[in-house]
Homo-oligomer: A and B are copies of this chain.
Amino acid sequence: MSRSSTHHISPKRSDAERNRAQILKAARAAFADPDADVSMAEIARQAGVGSATLYRNFANRRDLLEALYVGEIDAVCEAAKTIEGTGPAAVLEAWLRRFYTYFTSKQLVATELLASSGPDAPVFGAGYSRVVSAGQPLLEAARESRQIQGDLTIEQILDMVVAIAKIPGDDDYRAPILQAALEAIRKPTAA
Contacts and interface: CB of A to CB of B under 8 A. Distances in A.
Nearest to A166: B163
A173 B156 contact: yes
B181 A180 contact: yes
A156 B164 CA distance: 10
Q: How many copies does the complex hold?
A: 2
A150 B176 contact: yes
Contacts of A151: 176
Interface string A22-38: 00000000000000000
Contacts of A185: 180
Looking at A156, A163, A181, the one whose CB has the most chain B CB atoms below 10 A away is: A163
A179 interface: yes
A126 interface: no
Contacts of A166: 163, 166
A183 interface: yes
A185 B180 CA distance: 7
Contacts of A94: none
Given A152-B176, A160-B167, A160-B180, 14 more contacts: A150-B179, A150-B183, A151-B176, A156-B173, A159-B168, A159-B177, A160-B164, A160-B177, A160-B181, A163-B166, A166-B166, A180-B181, A180-B185, A188-B188
